Structure 1
């Protein structure tokens, strides 16, 4: 089937045509799928990544220009003026202006300012200006640490009086609509498949030093495999049902579980599943009926799924696990030879690395899991 025919189909039509998880997509198609999902996920970014991206220019003292462009850490080029700098730090798709940045953000109060927010003068042209807020410089909140592209100093990190230097117009605080918090609650939700094949969960509060003390049914009978990830205080559970299809449901902190619903994309005969969170997005990986790895993305910030599953090469996998570091998803898999292999999906550049064996020489591996330490 030609790529243009596939592109013209909906996910449902594609699955009806193929009859199972697609196994005919080439590696180049997998690269295009990741690049597409990278574009879809653009905008979901943590506060720490915003600041890191800002420092990428301030550490290099990139000169100010309204006509020149310079790459961010992912290689995408942005205009080297004040609004181009914020567009780069927020990882927007293009270089916005002081007039258009409010289309991607919303007003907040001074006392709500957090790292990665901005102080913005929305006037057009040379009358407007914007700076990236990094943190308060004093207890009275009269000055703050800022990163900016200054017309006289270029990309610079410095302390600025709130809201900005006198004589430069009116500045107000704004927050990017899809920014993700870096908070770590210390609460871990643990899921198991019981002897009755039902998904059960319990909660460990490591800050309080206690467990919930009981296991609670999540209501999914005859589950064959389970994985979970968390975004913004919400736990997302993914389970392979008795029909080989993939289902999910959610629970917000302090709330109950939503109803189970099938994950979009029509995957069938799923043999394994893993999940990893990147900001407001979760990358789902599955082992298809052919033993190969497939992936899709749920953007919980926008409430959208990527839809179709993208194949990531031809394999004969037995088990998978995944974890995310910033905007890179690390996938670990036990192959049919019983050894452990790894490859990464780098959303900064929209590419997969090649499979490589994990050092150490492990053989006859039966199961695998992975977790970021941070």
Structure 2
């Protein structure tokens, strides 16, 4: 059935359907304004969840109550948060033609004469498989489908008739906070999420060199470890950041306590030489986070227990000088999160075991004051030499920040926003005393930088908390529904097998757990399909691969 959508221009009366009452999704964008790819997909999913039927003449509300026409182009207009319901013929006026190989989540495939679908993301780019959202015809409700870009037809029309387009107001999402992966986390293993959705991993090897292993396609196979990204004795740990244009930047905490950096000169392009970023004897930890305006900030836990910050003065531009961010003896470890409105928030475990935080007053603008979240003695400090070892930060599906700390008794507590960008719940018990490893590092076993708690997210937005147990096993507890209650603890790895845990997700939404083993190797356990069963542990780097104490 044709999905032409210019019928309203010839005087037909439109009917607006009343939406089923539901909690409105967060609108990070305004009508006709810039919108992130994740918000586009969230808005598209809203009509799927609502079971919106197809109609050329009727309208239905978006999550904030604005009505859009219930046909293919009206649906794409709604997902883009456009200023009106465009047609397949007029969508090109608010978009730019791209090649099929450039398609990213939130783009669209438009057959101007007949139909348009919203691109959901590549399943296997090399094979051409992808997901898409569509209002197809009156016999089916709004839904999500799979297709192949190399196939002869797409949604009933010749694939060759479609033009890939990108909404002119689409912007990339900020880099994921460390707790939802390690796009900006530091450790013996750091993973960058590239613009196209590939995971790009870096490890600090046992000899102090850095090696690299990258997915060859988004959510696809791996290139294999390539040695020599940094020479021997260059680094104790590594952290990655990603610029808005897709360039990956790697920061190394050097064996002398300095910091150096190396970056791509163009997306997927050549790498610069290593450059000095902070002098010797400066740093104990480093973290990288991306502001809502695209600028990178590097936070450094200093050897005196203070925190210093250095930031880009413009996205992809020059760097500021180092400036004090927290005074000496203020912190033993820290984590960085981002509120739903784009404000960055830094959470620190203090040297006395208290927890404090400081947030931007506006997205990408000035900072407030350090404010206490937990009293002295609340958090464990025994693993303070590791990165984020006792604190993790993550966003629930609706954007609410959650903070998890390992307590001084080895339990876990959780503190979360009770509403989006709202007040804090206060600390709630999440795991009983003795659940998590809270001992001092073990020579030859504990990674020189790693975590004993990490939080990732599933494709539907459910949080999954992974812990290194006190007996060296690995366990997880996950939301049973997005924003809902948590499951009980499920053991994933036997006692004595693990020394550090990290959680992340692939571009297709598959949850993935990386574990540094007591042998110094790395293994991973990942969903075989989004929201599906786990693969079981698979080797990722051999014994003795990573640097340990």
TM-score normalised over the length of structure 2: 0.40
Matched, 1:132 2:118: yes
Deviation at 1:59, TM superposition (A): 5.3
Report deviation, 1:238. Answer: 1.5
Q: Secondary structure at the match of 1:208?
A: coil
**Structure (1/2) with the larger helix percentage:** 1
Deviations 1:213-241 (CA, angstroms, capped at 9, x unpaired): 4324414345465242477xx98642145
Q: 1:187·1:203 contact (CA, 8 Å) conserved in 2?
A: no
What's the Cα RMSD here? 5.5
Structure 1 range deviating more: 49-58 or 353-362? 49-58
CA offset digits 1:82-101 (Å, max 9, x no partner): 566336545x5x76543897
Q: Which residue of 2 aligns with 1:19?
A: none
Aligned pairs for 1:271-310 (under 5 A) are 271=331, 272-275=333-336, 283-287=344-348, 291-296=354-359, 305-309=364-368
Work out the CA distance in 2 between the residues paired with 1:342 and 1:306: 28
CA distance in structure 2 between the aligned counterparts of 1:104 and 1:203, rounded to whole angstroms: 44
- 5 Å-filtered alignment, 1:11-22, equals none
**1:303-342 matches, cutoff 5 A:** 305-309=364-368, 314-316=373-375, 318=379, 321-324=391-394, 329-334=401-406, 339-342=411-414
TM-score calculated relative to the size of structure 1: 0.55
Supply the distance in 2 between the matched residues of 1:95 and 1:209 (Cα, whole angstroms).
47
**What CA distance in whole angstroms lies between the structure 1 residues aligned with 2:421 and 2:300?**
27
Tell me, yes or no, if structure 1 residue 356 matches structure 2 residue 428. yes
1:183 is paired with a residue of what secondary structure? coil
Q: Indicate if the aligned counterparts of 1:286 and 1:295 stay in contact, CA closer than 8 A.
A: yes
Identify which of 106, 114, 133 aligns with 1:147.
133
Determine helix, strand or coil for the equivalent of 2:224.
coil
**Residue in 1 aligned with 2:201?**
187
For 2:517, the equivalent position in structure 1 comes to none
1:260 to 1:306, Cα distance in 2 relative to 1, 3 A: closer
Q: CA deviation at 1:274?
A: 1.0
- Any residues of structure 2 matched to 1:1-374 within 5 Å, and which? 43-46=35-38, 50-51=40-41, 54-58=44-48, 60-64=50-54, 67-71=59-63, 76-81=64-69, 82=72, 85-86=75-76, 89=79, 92=81, 96-98=84-86, 106-120=96-110, 130-134=116-120, 146-149=132-135, 152=138, 154-157=141-144, 159-160=154-155, 161-162=157-158, 173-175=165-167, 177-180=170-173, 181=195, 183-188=197-202, 203-206=210-213, 207-209=223-225, 212=230, 213=232, 214-215=234-235, 216=254, 217-218=258-259, 219-221=277-279, 222-223=281-282, 225-229=284-288, 237-241=298-302, 244-248=306-310, 259=319, 261=321, 267-269=325-327, 270-271=330-331, 272-275=333-336, 283-287=344-348, 291-296=354-359, 305-309=364-368, 314-316=373-375, 318=379, 321-324=391-394, 329-334=401-406, 339-344=411-416, 349-351=420-422, 354=425, 355-362=427-434, 365=438, 369-370=453-454, 371-373=502-504, 374=512
Q: For 1:101 and 1:225, how far apart are their aligned partners in 2?
A: 51
- The SS at the match of 2:47 is helix
Q: Give the Cα–Cα distance (whole angstroms) in 2 for the partners of residues 202 and 278 of structure 1.
A: 35
Counterpart contact for 1:229–1:237, Cα < 8 Å? yes
Aligned length: 298
Please give the alpha-carbon distance, in whole angstroms, between the structure 2 residues aligned to 1:164 and 1:83: 19
Contact 2:402 2:416 in 1 (8 A): yes
Moved more, 97-106 or 56-65: 97-106
Whole-Å separation in 1 of the counterparts to 2:144 and 2:437: 52
CA contact (8 A) 2:360 2:367 kept: no
Q: Report if the CA contact (8 A) 2:410-2:438 is conserved.
A: yes
Deviations 1:129-177 (A, max 9, x none): 753124799x9x9998642335745524464225698xxxx96622563
Aligned in 2, Cα 1:361/1:39: closer, same or farther, shift over 3 Å?
Answer: farther
Distance 2:203 2:344 in 1: 18
Gaps of 5+ in 2: 1-25, 146-153, 174-194, 214-222, 236-253, 260-276, 382-389, 440-450, 455-501, 505-511, 513-549
* Structure 1 gap segments, 5+ residues each: 1-34, 192-200
